[in-house]
Amino acid sequence: MRSGFVAVAGRPNVGKSTLVNALTGTKVAIVSDKPHTTRHQIRGVRTTDDAQLVLVDLPGWQKPIDTLTERMQGRVDETIASDVDVVMLVVSARERIGAGDRFVARRVFSLGVPVIIVVNKVDRLKSGHIASQMKEAATLGDFHALHPVSAVTGDGIDELRSDLISLLPEGPMYYPAETDTDMSVEARIGELVREQALRLLKEELPHAITAEVVEIEGKHVHVRLYTETESQKQILIGKGGTMVREIGRTARPFVEQLLGHPVYLQLQVKASPKWRRNQTMLERLGL
């Protein structure tokens, strides 16, 4: 049996988490159109008859600006330096391949493990444009293979998965066959609520928010959302509670799908000044 770990590296927003979900075959990581969505390392597991592929989704590469982003980048550095078998370097076909990608590439290609370059988001692009993006991506380093894919339509995903598996060493099952992620149910629910907050809120506010499960008791799921200031708290609540209600309404089906039964999702909003700079708070949130 082949088994091993594939780290997913790249700039923010290139579609790393969407790819992890597509390769895993389930929604293990949340996705949004705002950069810096992924905050922790998330493992997505795909087990077949003769292989187990563990995808390690990571935050996008960034210059730290506070304790949270410093810890996020620290996690990326640690993972990359640890025992991974393959690195998947993801770039976007929809954006110029530039200094940011080259910065990530320099780190990735110095690791001494095979690198697969993935040119993601090729859906609805002209073939000439895809070809020139692939040519540009090919200059990033000495890669094992280069795959044009669309994580959204699934184009090229099966070929990419087979190629990743072919690079894994002989090894044990790291997780039981039915496992799709290493995240706890509580952490997944917090993320599903945060995903809707990211979708519904504008500009910088989503980054000032975090979500934590307080308690799950039967059908009752109690989640607390934190903001950094009172005024952010008011925006998150919305006029007469409309915003927080909408977050709850759109997150609930995902939570129900995860738990496999109907739930009453109670959302509470609390201001926790400067939680992004508070080590103790970040520790508690597992960030």
**Tokens 């060493």 identify what position?**
169
Please tell me whether residue 128 adopts helix, strand or coil conformation. helix
Closer to Mg ion by Cβ: residue 20 or 168: 20
Q: How far is CA 178 from CA 24, 30, 187, 189, 267, in A?
A: 12, 20, 19, 19, 30
Residue 32: strand, helix, or coil: coil
CB of 16 to Mg ion, least distance (A): 5
- Those residues whose C-beta lies under 8 Å from the C-beta of residue 170, and which sit 6 or more positions away, are 1, 2, 3
Among 7, 28, 31, 168, the residue binding ligand GTP under the rule CB under 6 A is 31
Q: Which is nearer to ligand GTP, 32 or 47 (CB)?
A: 32
Interface with ligand GTP includes 40 (CB under 6 A)?
Answer: no
Closest Cα to residue 226, out of 276, 176, 280, 186?
276
Among 17, 52, 181, 196, binds Mg ion (CB under 5 A): 17
- Told to check if 42 binds ligand GTP by CB under 6 A, we report no
The correct pick among 6, 9, 28, 38 for binding ligand GTP (CB under 6 A) is 38
Q: Which two tokens stand for residue 285?
A: 């949130």
Nearer to ligand GTP, 8 or 221 (CB): 8
- How far apart (Å, rounded) are the C-alpha atoms in residues 237 and 230? 11
Among 3, 24, 32, 38, binds Mg ion (CB under 5 A): 38
* CA dihedral angle for residue 156, residue 157, residue 159, residue 162, rounded to 10 degrees: 170
How many CA atoms lie less than 13 Å away from 116 in the CB half-sphere? 24
Binding piece for Mg ion, criterion CB under 5 A, among 33-41, 42-50, 109-117, 267-275: 33-41
241 sits in the region (left: phi over 0; alpha: psi -120 to 50; else beta) called left
* 183 touches ligand GTP (CB under 6 A): no
CB 219 within 8 A of CB 263: yes
Quote the tokens at residue 143: 């890669």
Please report the DSSP string for 195-249 in residue order.
Answer: HHHHHHS-TTGGGG-EEEEEEEETTEEEEEEEESSHHHHHHHH-GGGHHHHHHHH
Q: Judged by CB under 5 A, which of 21, 24, 32, 37 binds Mg ion?
A: 37
Is the Cβ of residue 69 or residue 234 nearer to ligand GTP in the bound state? 69
Nearer to ligand GTP, 121 or 224 (CB): 121
Site string for ligand GTP, 125-164 (x = CB under 6 A): -------------------------xxx------------
Question: Which range touches Mg ion (CB under 5 A), out of 36-44, 140-148, 163-171, 177-185?
Answer: 36-44
Distance in Å, CB of 153 to ligand GTP, minimum: 7
Q: Could you list the residues that contact ligand GTP (CB under 6 A)?
A: 10, 12-18, 31-33, 35-38, 59-60, 120-121, 123, 150-152
Q: Could you list the residues that contact Mg ion (CB under 5 A)?
A: 16-17, 37-38
